[in-house]
A = this chain, B = another copy of it.
Amino acid sequence: MGTTNDDGPRTALTRDRVLRAALALADRDGLAGLTIRTLAQELDSKPMSLYYYVATKDQILDGIVDLVFAEVHLPVVGNPWRQEMEHRARSMRAVLARHRWAVGLLESRAAPGPATLRHHDATLGTLRRAGFSLRATAHAYALLDSYIYGFALQEAALPLAGVDSVAEVAAPIMERFADGQYPWMVEIAEGVVMQPGYDFAEEFEHGLELILDAITPH
């Protein structure tokens, strides 16, 4: 598992293969682990060989961000907006939970790929077709995406690498607050976060429903 690759006749290199390997590597080792050299190793190749398919590492980042967007449910323009927005939101959260490194990159890429553009277009179209005014669409989109991205950001920050409950992580931290310095944090930690069965991911649904209920076509 630790070593790199077996032998076997190397499949021909491809821009697509490079990007998919980069995606897998980022998932496994994080963004910092995504290195031209290790990526080349993973592909049973050499660093400079990748540059035949990709001009710069930034293009690799652009590429894997678009791959991530491609995984998100594409809303169907014409379908009931509430159902589609719910589906899209859940899907996006799941995808971003799968690719924890992606949240910080999603919106920061200057060169959005086709899947990214398709996604935005379909989402906007769904709202418009459902009767949302132009401004209402802009408001709804900003609100929804802010919530989704922000939630994913917090979720990605949780240090939950193969941990059963949040309590395992929170407990040692909370011990340092045993003096009464941060009473409210302790209260919430003990009363909610560290309760058996608590799952931060479920918070997502609560907020999503609240937001969707508050949104109207105007």
Residues of A in contact with B (beta carbons under 8 Å apart): 77, 103-104, 107-108, 110, 117-118, 120-122, 124-125, 128, 134-135, 137-139, 142-143, 145-151, 153-154, 156-157, 159, 177, 181-185, 187-188, 191-193, 200, 203, 206-207, 210-211, 213-215
Contact = CB atoms under 8 A, between A and B. Distances in A.
Classify the interface of chain A: helix, strand, loop or mixed: helix
A193 B139 CA distance: 11
A154 B143 contact: no
A56 to B, nearest CB: 15
A153 B154 contact: no
Given A120-B185, A184-B121, A207-B146, A107 B139 contact: no
A120 B185 CA distance: 7
B135 A192 contact: yes
A94 to B, nearest CB: 16
